[in-house]
Copies of this chain bind each other. A is one copy, B any other.
Amino acid sequence: MALGEFELIRHYFSETGGTRGDVILGVGDDCALVRIPEGMQLALTIDTLVAGVHFFPDVDPEALGHKALAVNLSDLAAMGATPAWVTLALTLPDADADWLAAFSGGFAKLAERFGIQLIGGDTTKGPLTITVQAHGWLPVGQALRRSGAQIGDLIYVTGTLGDAGLALRHRLAEGSWQFVAPALRKRLERPEPRIEAGLLLREIASAAIDISDGLVADLGHVLQASSCGAQIRLDQIPLSGPVASAVASGAGWQLPLSSGDDYELCFTLPPDHQQEIPRLSDRLELTITQIGRIEVGSELRCVQADGTLWQPEQSGYEHFQDDDET
């Protein structure tokens, strides 16, 4: 990379997310320095997106900038943390001004919505790889852990499941975006991190996780961490029209339950907080649906409308991106 290209990269990221009072030193020294509010603990999460693995090489770079940040914010949301700062390690084959303008634009727009400042990063030459670490905080003892579910808690999910999975299926089948409905494509490319939901749920939920690998896998993580089982009712899983049609016409429950990339929250709730959910849903303008209940045991039982159990396919293949994450 020639001298000027670094200037170009710096230019596009210099103002990302504005300036926060708790940032003592941002980009430009050996380290960034920040202040955590008193009584708060730091929450942090790191995720990598690799070209050809997590996104199509022809992805809209503006959408990629959004998603690279959104998937990390989704992890903060799942803990109930207030987002604050972010770092970005960007490996690029070359410095293309149009690409950088679009990528940094998508990244910055989402950062600004949540008042997040980019405080550090590293730019290297190599195969397109994007690593983002997001940092937030929350009061000591109030984190929404995976391990907090109790027997008898109700299980909820935000939004609808399977839309991103359906978009991906259509894109893979058709080889282009031309035949993919914009609303589905948006769910795949521009997931909405449920930050506000996480903050409000922090007060009442017993456990939470964001659905990145599919409900079955991610609820499974909650069950394992909480040492319990669960029953979910498949006819209560919230589905958009296109996903409901696809399930009915042969795609099966695998689509909404195991495709991943939903970035909705799955949480458990002590039953005495049940009546607070409609008001919370109104306030968030987000559907929140009860889908089941935590039980004794260690299994996740998926009950169909006719009362029979649905068995998830054993894929024998793990999604690479989210499995070993924190």
Contacts of A43 in B (CB 8 A): 31-33
Structural contact, A42 and B53, CB atoms closer than 8 A = no
Structural contact, A2 and B41, CB atoms closer than 8 A = no
Let me know if A158 is at the binding interface, CB within 8 A.
no
Structural contact, B125 and A78, CB atoms closer than 8 A = no
Let me know if A318 is at the binding interface, CB within 8 A.
yes
A262-278 contacts to B (CB < 8 Å): none
Let me know if A189 is at the binding interface, CB within 8 A.
no
Cα-based distance from A214 to B210 in the complex (angstroms): 44
Which of B124, B136, B322 is in CB contact (< 8 Å) with A50?
Answer: B124
Structural contact, B47 and A122, CB atoms closer than 8 A = yes
CB-CB under 8 A for A53 and B326, given A3-B317, A91-B48: no
CB-CB under 8 A for A26 and B129, given A48-B122, A122-B47: no
Contacts of A1 in B (CB 8 A): 317-318, 320
Contacts of A50 in B (CB 8 A): 91, 124-127
The 19 sampled A-B contact pairs (Cβ below 8 Å) are A3-B316, A10-B324, A25-B143, A30-B79, A31-B81, A33-B41, A34-B41, A34-B44, A36-B42, A44-B87, A51-B126, A53-B126, A89-B131, A119-B326, A122-B322, A122-B324, A123-B323, A125-B320, A129-B129
Additional 11 contacts, C-beta under 8 A, given A30-B210, A54-B124: A30-B209, A33-B143, A34-B42, A36-B36, A46-B87, A46-B120, A51-B126, A53-B125, A53-B126, A123-B324, A125-B320
